[in-house]
Structure 1
Amino acid sequence: MIFSIIVQVLLFILVAFFVTFTCYEIIEGQKKVKQSSDDGRDSSSSDKVSEEHTEKSDTEEYDIKDVPTVSILLPVCNEVAVVGQLIKAVSEIEYVDGAYEILLLDDSNEENATAVKRIVEEFNSTRNHADSEKNENASEGFRSGVVQYYSRESKEGFKAGNINYGLMIAKGDFVVVFDADCVPPSDFLIRTIPCFHDSSLGFLQTAIDFRNRNENFITRFLATEIGHKDKMTANFNEEQDLANLTGSSSVWRRKCLDDIGGFSDRTLTEDIDLCYRAQLKGWHYRYLSEVVSYEELPDTISAVRLQRHRWAYGLVRNTFLHICGFAGKSDFTLGQKLNAFMMMSQTFLLASFYALLLIAVPAIFVTEDLGWIFRIICTVFLITAIVWGYNNICGINLTCQTDSDNNGRKNDDAAKEAAPQKTQESSKTAAGDRTENTGCSFLESVAYVLMYLPLSLYYFLAVIEVLLGINVSFVPTPKGGAVMQSNRLATVIFWLEVVSFIYALSGMVFSICYFNLWTLLYTTICTCGFGISLALSAVEGQRRYFENLKHVVITGATGEIGGALARKFARRGMHMTLSGRNEAKLNEIKAQCEKQGAEVDIRILDLRNVDELRAWGSSLADKMPVDLLIANAGLNTNIGEDLEGEPFEEARALVEVNLLSDIALIDSVLPAMRKRGRGQIAILSSLASYYGLVYTPTYCATKAALRNYGNSLRAWLKPDGIKINVILPGYIDSPMCRAMPGPKPFLMKSDRAAGIITRGLYLNLARISFPFPLNLGIWSLSFLPHCLAAPIAALFGYGRMK
C-alpha cells in the first residue's frame, strides 16, 4: 500500500510538471502569430540599414576609421572534410576591405592539423593577386582577403579555450563565430553589424538552416525538433526573455565579451553559458530570423547520442550555475523569471520521460492498489502527451494559420549558392503523402515523437552525471562525412538503450499479465522508441561496414549467388576482383558493378589448377589489401534418376572445386591478412552439410567439410583480427539448383539471399544459415539417430524412391 502511494505521488509530480511545461510551450507558441507583423517591420528596418550601407559602398570610399572592425573566428577540431567550404564561404562575405579579419583556430590532432593548414595555404595562394595587394596596402586596416591560421600548443578548455585563444589575437570591435560546418550568406555582416547601433545590444544570433535536412530519417527529425525551438527563440526575442542561443553564426560586441570574461570551459555548452552570463549582466540580445546560415546535422544515431548527451550535460550544468542568478535578478519581471525557469527546465522535462518509464514497471506489480487517482493521472498524461507531441512536430496554431504562413525566415540565395549542391536539393520537400506543416508522412511524424524516448535517456543520464559530479569530456560531433572514432561514452549509451529496450519490453509483458492498460500503453511507446533507435544503429553499422570495405574478392561470380553478392557490394570507391568460368557472364557482371561505381578486375580461372589458383591468391594484395574474400565457387553432381551412382570423375572434380580450391585460395591470401592484422573470409557451405541427402552424397560431404573447416579457422584466426564466416544457404533459385533431383522447399531468389548474407557478414556471424524453417528442420535431423532421421527425411521427399 505504501509503495503504491509513493508511485502515485511520483507520477503526479512528473505529470504535473509535464502538463505545466506543455501549456507554457503552447502559450509561447501563440505569440509567434501576434508578432509576425512586428518581425516583418524589424526585418524591413534592418534591410533599410543594409541598403543604405550598400548604396554608400557603391558610390564613395569608406574611411576605415569610421567603420566598425570585425574579427571572424573559425574554431575547428579534426573537421577536415568541411574546412574548405567554410573558408570559401567566409571569404565571400561582403564588407569594407581592411575592416575585417578571418582567423582560423585549429585544435586538430597533428595529422588533421597538417591537412587543415595545407587547405588554408592553398586557398590563400589562389586568392586574386589584386585583392591581396589591396589588403596588404590597407594602411590601418586588416588583411581581409587572407585566412590567418593559428594552432595552440595546449588544447585545454576544449572549444571555449580555443575561442579564448583567438580572442587574444583578434583586434575587431565585433567578434563573429562560425562553426566548421557553417556556410554564412555573403551579406552576413552587412545585415548584422548595423543592428549594433543600439549600445545595449551585446550579441546577436542569426537563424540556422540545414543543408542535409532531408538526407535521412535522423536529419528530418532533428530539423523538425530544432525548428520548433527556433520558433520559441523568435518569440523570446521580442520581450527579451531568457533564450538558449547557439554559438555559431553569432555576432558579439567585444565590450560585452570583455565584460563577462569571455568564454568559459566550465560547461560543455559554452555558447549557452555565455549568453546566460551576458543576459545576467544586463546585455540585450537579438535574434534575426531573416538572416540564414547553413550547417549540417549529424546523420547517424551514434553522432546524435554524443551530441545530445553533451548538450544535455551542458544544459543541466548551466541550470545549476545560473538558476539562482536569474531568480534573484531584480530588473526581471515575474513573467521573465518564470520564463527563465521553464527554459532551464526543458532538460529535466525530457529526463522525466525516462524517469516515468523507471516508475511505470514497478507500478505494474501494485496494480490492484492503484485506484481512481492513478487512472486520472494517466488520462491527463495521455492527453497532454498527444498535445505535446503534436505541438513539437506540427506546431499548434489557434488562429488556424499554418506555421509556414507565419514563418518570417527568408531563404537566402547567396548562402545556398555557397553551400554544396545538396543544400538546394535537400531544401525541396519530397513529393508524396506529406502533411503541410511538417513535410513528413503521418507515420514518420509518429516516429519523430517516439524518438524523444531515447533522447530522454541521454538527458536522464546527464542529470545523474551532474548530480554525482561526474566530469564528461568534450567530443566534437562528426559531420561532413567524417567517421566517428570508437568512443567509450557512445558505447555505454548504446548498451543503456539495449537495457532500456529490454526493460520496456518486459514492462509490456507484465502489463498484459496484470491487465494494466495504462502501463501497457506507455511501455509499448517506450519499446517502440528505443526499438527505432536500435534499428537505426543497425542500419548505421551496416553502412559503416560497407564504407570500410575497399577491396572485395568473389570467386564463382558467374553463379547466381556470386553475381548477386557482387552487385550488392558494388559502390563508388570499391575495388572488386571477380573470378568465374564463363567469360561472357563475367563481363556482364563486371559491367553491372561498374555501372554502380565500382572498379572491377576479372579473372578466368580453372579452380582445379591449384598452382595457378595459389599464385593468383598470393598476388591479390599486391594492388590493394583484401578486406573481404568470398569463396563462393562450387559444383554439384548427383546419383542420377536411375540411382546408378555418381561418376567418379565428377565426384573428384567436385571435391577439388568445392573443397580443395577453397582451402588452397584461403591458404594463399592468409599470410597478407595476418601480417596486416585485419581481414574477413566467407566460405560458402550449405544446409546440406548438416544431414547427408540421398541424391547428393559427395556434394553434402564437401559442404560438411567446408563447414567444419570454417569453424576451425574462426577459432584459430580470431586473435589475429581475421573474421571467418560460414554461409549455409538453403535452396537458391539457380540452374545448378534446378538440376538437382528432389523437392526444393522455401526456394529463394539470389538477390534476397545476398541481402541476408551481407547482413550476416556485417554482424560477423559464425554461421549465416537460412531460411529458418529449413535450417531448423535439417539441423534437427542431424541430432536424431539414423533409424529415425531417414524415415522422416523420406516423408518430405528426401528418401530413396525406388
Structure 2
Amino acid sequence: MIWQISILILYTISLIIIFIFSVGQAYLIFSYLRAKKKTDVIPVMPPKIPIVTIQLPLYNELYVVERLINAVCNLNYPSHKLEIQVLDDSDDQSLIQTEGIINKMKTLGYDILHIKREKNIGFKAGALQHGIKSAKGEFIAIFDADFLPEADFLQKLIPYFNATQIGMVQSRWGHINQDYSLLTKIQGFGLDGHFTVEQTGRNKANLFMNFNGTAGIWRKECIIDAGGWQHDTLTEDLDLSYRAQLKGWEFIYVENVVTPAELPVESNALRSQQHRWTKGAIETSKKMIKEIWKADVGLKKKIFGTLHLMNSYVFIFVFITSILSVPVLIIKNNHDINPIYFDMMTFFLLGFVIVTIFYIVATSSKKESIKTFAKLYPMFLSVSMALSFHNSVAVLEGLFGFKSDFIRTPKFNITNLDQNFEQNIYIKRALPKAFFAEFFLVLYFALGLFFAFYYKDFALLPFHLMLFTGFSILTFYSFKHSVVR
C-alpha cells in the first residue's frame, strides 16, 4: 500500500503546484479585462526626431535575409536618423548573399553596416552587445530574421519614449504563416495568449514583463545601465529585462502594434525553439529570483515575478501528473482508497477552467469566432501537454547547470500553403532524440484509454485522450519531417 499512497501524494502535490500557477494566470485575465475597459492615450512623435539604430542579428539566414533587410529599409522614418546594423555571425554561403544585399542598399543611400565578428562568442547576446559599442542611435530596435516590421513601426513606438523612465517598448507578434499546417495553427494560438492576456495583463498591473527578444525598441542608456547583453543564459532577452526593471526602468507593451513573423513549420525547429525558451527561463530564474526578493519593489511584484520566471517548472509537474494518471486510475479501481480523496481532486478542474478562460479571452481579443477556438483549443492543449516531456528535459538541464549552445531556429520563408521546405539546407533530416520515448507514450496513454473502458471509469478519459492525441501528433510530425526529401 505504501507505493500506492506515494503515487497519490506525488500526484496531489503536482496538481496543487499546477493550480497555483493557474491562479496567477487568473489574475492576469482580470488585469487584462480591466485594462481593456480603459482607453489608452496614444503619444505623438517628439518634435526632435531621435536617431534609431536597428540591429539585425543573423546566423545562416539564407532564405529570409533579403526580405528582412528590404522590410527594414522600407520603414517610414527619416533616413538620416536611421542606422542599420546587420550583425552577421553566419558561416555559410548566406554571408556573400548578405554582403551583396547590403552593398545594394548602400548605393541607394541607406546607412547600413555589415558587422562580422572574428569569433562568435555569446551567440545572439554577444552580437547585440558588440553592436551596441558602435551604435549611433539613442534607441535600439531589434528584429530577428523571421520578422517583417510594418512601415510605420518606428513612428508608432518611438513616441512612447517621451517619458524618460521608459527603457523598452515591445510590440505584439503576428504570424504570416499561421494557416500553413496544424503545427503552425497551434503555435499561433498559444503565442496569441502570451501576446494578449499575459503581456498586457502584466504591463497594466505594473508587474515585471519581458522583452520578447525581437520586435521591440530599447533605450540604449537602459541597456548600458542594466549591465548590457549577457550570454550566461539562453534567454538573454528575459535576463536583461529583469535587470533593467530592477534598476528602475519601466517597460511598455503595445498590443495594437503588430509585427508579423514566420512560425516554425518543421517539428525539429519547433523543438529547438521550445528547448531554448524553456531552459533559458530556468537559467534566468536561478540568476534573478534572489535579486527580485532583495529589491524594494513590493510583495505583489516579487510574487508574480517569481511565478513568471519559474513558470517553466510547470512542465515537469504536468508531465508527472500525466504519467501518474494511469496508475491513479488503476489504484482507484483496485484498492480501498476513500472516495472522498478522488472527489476532492475534482477541485483542481478549476485550474483547467482558468486556462480555458485565458485562451477564450485571447481568442476574442483577435475577434476570432468561438468556432475557431473550439477547433484549435483541444489540439493546442493536447500538444502542449505532450511537449511537457521534451520541455521537462530542458527544465532539468537548466536546473542542474547542463550547458548547451544557443541553437538557432531555422527559417524557411514559408508564407503560403503552396510552398514546401524540402530543399531547405537547414533541416535536420533525422528523428529527434525523444522520438521513441514519445512513441512509447502514445502506447502508454492508449493503455489509459483502454483502462477507462475496462473499469468503466471515464473520469480521466478526456485527459488521456488529449495526451494520446498530443503525443500522436508529435510523433507523426517527427517522422514526417525526418523523411522530407
Same fold (TM over 0.5): yes
What is residue 121 of structure 1 aligned with on the other side?
A: 103
CA-atom RMSD in angstroms: 2.5
- The 1:106/1:487 distance shift into structure 2, 3 A limit, reads farther
What is residue 7 of structure 1 aligned with on the other side?
A: 7
Return the structure number with greater relative CO, CA threshold 8 A, min gap 6: 2
User: Where in structure 2 are the equivalents of 1:422-441 lying within 5 Å?
Assistant: 436-437=369-370, 439=372
- Aligned AA for 1:504? F
What is residue 305 of structure 1 aligned with on the other side?
A: 271
- The 1:96/1:443 distance shift into structure 2, 3 A limit, reads closer
What is residue 160 of structure 2 aligned with on the other side?
A: 195
Describe the superposition over 1:721-778 as per-residue Cα deviations: whole angstroms up to 9, x where unpaired: xxxxxxxxxxxxxxxxxxxxxxxxxxxxxxxxxxxxxxxxxxxxxxxxxxxxxxxxxx
- The 1:436/1:519 distance shift into structure 2, 3 A limit, reads closer
User: Where in structure 2 are the equivalents of 1:624-643 lying within 5 Å?
Assistant: none
- Say if 2:240 is the partner of 1:274: yes
Cα distance in 1 between the residues matched to 2:398 and 2:344? 30
- The 1:71/1:444 distance shift into structure 2, 3 A limit, reads closer
What is residue 85 of structure 2 aligned with on the other side?
A: 103
- Aligned AA for 2:465? T
- Say if 2:342 is the partner of 1:375: yes
Deviation at 1:530, TM superposition (A): 0.4
Answer yes or no: is the 8 Å Cα contact 2:54–2:140 preserved in 1. Answer: yes
Q: Counterpart of 2:290 in 1: which secondary structure?
A: helix
What is residue 343 of structure 1 aligned with on the other side?
A: 308
- Aligned AA for 1:255? E
- Say if 2:416 is the partner of 1:475: no
Q: Counterpart of 1:466 in 2: which secondary structure?
A: helix
- Aligned AA for 1:384? G
What is residue 41 of structure 1 aligned with on the other side?
A: 40
Q: Counterpart of 1:79 in 2: which secondary structure?
A: coil
Q: Counterpart of 2:3 in 1: which secondary structure?
A: helix
Q: Counterpart of 2:80 in 1: which secondary structure?
A: coil
Q: Which of 120, 143, 148 matches 2:113? A: 148
- Aligned AA for 2:323? L
Cα distance in 2 between the residues matched to 1:288 and 1:438? 27
What is residue 486 of structure 1 aligned with on the other side?
A: 428
- Aligned AA for 1:183? L
- The 1:149/1:438 distance shift into structure 2, 3 A limit, reads farther
Cα distance in 2 between the residues matched to 1:383 and 1:289? 28
Deviation at 1:112, TM superposition (A): 2.4
Answer yes or no: is the 8 Å Cα contact 2:22–2:355 preserved in 1. Answer: no
- Aligned AA for 1:243? M
- Aligned AA for 2:60? N
What is residue 174 of structure 2 aligned with on the other side?
A: 209
- The 1:396/1:16 distance shift into structure 2, 3 A limit, reads farther
Larger of the two Rg values belongs to structure:
1
- Say if 2:121 is the partner of 1:159: no
Cα distance in 2 between the residues matched to 1:347 and 1:213? 24
Q: Counterpart of 2:361 in 1: which secondary structure?
A: coil
Cα distance in 2 between the residues matched to 1:519 and 1:235? 32
Q: Share of identical aligned residues, percent?
A: 26
- Say if 2:432 is the partner of 1:526: no
Taking structure 1 as the reference length, the TM-score comes to 0.56
- The 1:212/1:493 distance shift into structure 2, 3 A limit, reads same
Cα distance in 2 between the residues matched to 1:5 and 1:458? 28
- The 1:107/1:437 distance shift into structure 2, 3 A limit, reads farther
- Say if 2:438 is the partner of 1:497: yes
Cα distance in 1 between the residues matched to 2:437 and 2:130? 37
- Say if 2:145 is the partner of 1:180: yes
What is residue 140 of structure 1 aligned with on the other side?
A: none
What is residue 609 of structure 1 aligned with on the other side?
A: none
Deviation at 1:207, TM superposition (A): 1.6
Structure 2 residues without counterparts, runs of 5 or longer: 414-423
What is residue 288 of structure 2 aligned with on the other side?
A: 322
Q: Counterpart of 2:186 in 1: which secondary structure?
A: helix
Taking structure 2 as the reference length, the TM-score comes to 0.90
What is residue 411 of structure 1 aligned with on the other side?
A: none
- Aligned AA for 1:41? D
- Aligned AA for 2:97? A
Cα distance in 2 between the residues matched to 1:350 and 1:342? 13
Describe the superposition over 1:148-200 as per-residue Cα deviations: whole angstroms up to 9, x where unpaired: 11111211211111111111221222111111121112222222222222111
What is residue 715 of structure 1 aligned with on the other side?
A: none
Answer yes or no: is the 8 Å Cα contact 1:160–1:264 preserved in 2. Answer: yes
The alignment of Structure 1 onto Structure 2 pairs a total of residues equal to 472
Deviation at 1:317, TM superposition (A): 1.2
What is residue 385 of structure 2 aligned with on the other side?
A: 453
- Say if 2:18 is the partner of 1:85: no
Answer yes or no: is the 8 Å Cα contact 1:378–1:518 preserved in 2. Answer: no
